[in-house]
Amino acid sequence: MKIILIEDEVHARESLKKMLNLVNPETKVLFESGHIANSIEFLKANAVDLVFLDLHLEDGTGFDLLNSFPNLSFKVIITIAYDDKAVEAYRSNTVDYLLKPINPYDLEDAIKRVKKQLKLEELTKKVEEPLTLKTTNSFIRILPSDIIRLIVCIIKLKWKAP
């Protein structure tokens, strides 16, 4: 799992990295920052699975970053010292909201939730491979999500050998 940490407190970042290593050793932290501007640049140039996002940063709020990505291609877990932004975080389609100091068990649960969502998305992508359907006169390639209704007719023919 490819992760980035957007947190302005260096000791909080270090603590989170250590906990991530204990809870989920296969995670790889690709980038760390306390600034929104360079985090946005990194996210636009690189594919990541998960962003740990503090809401109070040096050059704005975590919501400023989220608003820069109308269609999130990554999962987000908010990390914050106060619970006053929980509703706004929920409305921003975040996976979880972890209060500092972060409880390792809560972190483990959040990571499990992210993995489950990523696995489900991967299965959905596999389902979205086009299907080839044979009609009377031709073949049609169609995505499963484009199918509204499918009617299957099975005709049993009684065939007798001559």
DSSP string, 60-117: EEHHHHHHT-SS-SSEEEEEES-STTHHHHHHTT-SEEEESSPPHHHHHHHHHHHHHH
Phi first, then psi, for residue 2 (nearest 5°) are -95, 125
Q: At what angle do helices 10-23 and 104-127 cross, to 10 degrees?
A: 70
Residue 56, beta-bridge partner list: 61
The span from the CA of 94 to the CA of 47, in Å, is: 17
pLDDT tens for 38-75 read 999 999 999 999 999 999 998 999 999 999 998 899 99
User: Which SS3 state, helix, strand or coil, does residue 37 take?
Assistant: helix
**Which pair of tokens denotes residue 151?**
């009617």
Q: What is the pTM assigned to this prediction?
A: 0.78
Delineate the domains of the chain, giving CATH numbers in brackets: 2-127 (3.40.50.2300)
Do 61 and 34 meet the contact criterion of CB atoms below 8 Å apart? Answer: no
For residues 18-46, average pLDDT: 96
- pLDDT: is 127 or 11 the higher one? 11
**In this predicted structure, what is the pLDDT of residue 154?**
65
H or E, element range at 134: strand 131-134
